[in-house]
Structure 1
Amino acid sequence: MLLSIEDLLKSYPGPEGPVPVLRGVTLSLDAGETLALTGESGSGKSTLLHLVAGLDAADGGRVGLDGQEVTALDDSGRARLRRSTVGIIFQQFNLIPSLDVAANIAFQARLIGTPEPQELSRLAHALGLEPQLRKYPEQLSGGQQQRVAIARALAARPKLILADEPTGNLDEATADGVMEQFLALVAETGAALLMVTHSPRLAARLGRRAHLSQGRLA
């Protein structure tokens, strides 16, 4: 088992006291599995991804990832695990504006010392980014920016990919094309995928589906 989540709890401060967001979530994911996480806005989907990635700390429960207890690590330990094991794709792309497309794609792989020029070229070719490699993010369309974010997440060959509404800012036709390329590349790498989506149509393309409602799996 690559990812094991047990009885995960998370609250955030509110004007009248703590506001529960996750109320005891238990979930697992094997290597190579794909799982769509659906639910209404505010149900805790993005919070769950942030806890798995070690971007935030849980209030209770545990997250095990690739043999390590994410919930037992300090900030630097979670950062090391995130760099080496996890690829994250955000809805807002989060590209680095001062770097061109080629440098954005290579960014995470260079952080962990594993930039492979052949792999970077393969991803750029597969995602149709070769003509854009020397351009900067502001010169790209939304669909092109999302393809760069996907290539960056895959370039370091992570064991787990976390995708938060990866096509949420794209029109339906563009989203379908990006998702087609994304899922094909994920399958090639053998990575596991946990993807947050509001779209039942996109969720149906993944191997499993889980639904969050008021902080609990329904």
Structure 2
Amino acid sequence: MLVIEQLCKSFTTAQGTLPVLQGVDLHLARGSSLALMGESGSGKSTLLHLVAGLDRADSGHILIDDAPLDGRSEAALARWRREGVGLVFQQYNLISSLDVAANLGFQARLAGRHDPQWQEYLTERLGLTPVLQRYPEQLSGGQQQRVAIGRALAGRPPLVLADEPTGSLDEASGDQVLALMLQLVREAGSSVLLVTHSSRLAAQLQHRCFLHAGRVQGEKG
């Protein structure tokens, strides 16, 4: 479903060029889950941003169902972010002017795939029914993260990208939220690539790989 070949990315700093990704190769099968691990600064979030079409690589290829992502126009990348991928970040990124119900359906409506029954099911499974009319600032951190997960899955995207999605939650809440997210991802028929520094959380996914010095060092099933 996702194939990454010899991906390279550097950033320009005051001290000169900083190489972050140096020939990354990665494969993610349709319907599977992969945890991307590595120390801080190893390039995990950068890789996720490239796959999401939020930034462009210096060289290498990202293939989605054998179709290259690199080289697409800005409009095509925006369409990919709208229709092809669901994003879950540690910062939630909810729209403060919209209530929970509107936040949940936001991306699915943009993608033209709003399904009221599926959204209602997500709402119930995520325990958000009592807070549908509340706004993000009225929610706890755990509730906001559940809204972010529901929003990412409401349009049943082929791929879900999650960057430390439970990083701001306590350990018990984080474990519970991740387990629920992975179950809903399977029900949505999506694949998931999750960035985490926690081997405990990574153990919940089907596969794990490690990013070190800009390269994938190994994979465990």
Q: Residue 119 of structure 2 aligns to a residue in which SS?
A: helix
AA aligned opposite 1:178: V
Deviation of 1:88 (Å): 0.6
Identity of aligned residues (%): 59
Structure 1 partner of 2:135: 136
Deviation of 1:112 (Å): 1.3
Deviation of 1:213 (Å): 0.8
Query: 4+ runs of 1 displaced by more than 4 Å?
Result: none
Q: Distance in 1 between matches of 2:37 and 2:212?
A: 9
Matches within 5 A, 1:40-189: 40-189=39-188
Q: Residue 23 of structure 2 aligns to a residue in which SS?
A: strand
Deviation of 1:113 (Å): 1.5
Q: Distance in 2 between matches of 1:104 and 1:110?
A: 10
TM-score, length basis structure 1? 0.98
Q: Distance in 2 between matches of 1:166 and 1:41?
A: 15
Range with greater deviation from structure 2 (36-45 or 9-18): 9-18
Deviation of 1:189 (Å): 1.4
Deviation of 1:129 (Å): 0.4
Q: Distance in 1 between matches of 2:189 and 2:79?
A: 21
Q: Distance in 1 between matches of 2:15 and 2:130?
A: 53
AA aligned opposite 1:154: L
Deviation of 1:183 (Å): 1.0
AA aligned opposite 1:56: D
Structure 1 partner of 2:197: 198
Q: Residue 72 of structure 1 aligns to a residue in which SS?
A: coil
Q: Residue 91 of structure 2 aligns to a residue in which SS?
A: coil
Structure 2 partner of 1:11: 10
Q: Distance in 2 between matches of 1:27 and 1:127?
A: 31
AA aligned opposite 2:10: S
AA aligned opposite 1:11: S
Matches within 5 A, 1:199-214: 199-214=198-213
Q: Distance in 2 between matches of 1:81 and 1:68?
A: 12
AA aligned opposite 1:189: A
Q: Residue 13 of structure 2 aligns to a residue in which SS?
A: coil
AA aligned opposite 1:101: V
What number of residue pairs does the alignment pair up?
A: 217
Deviations 1:50-88 (A, max 9, x none): 000100000000001134211120211111112111001
Q: Residue 70 of structure 2 aligns to a residue in which SS?
A: helix
Q: Distance in 2 between matches of 1:215 and 1:65?
A: 21
Unaligned runs of 5+ in 2: none
Structure 2 partner of 1:26: 25
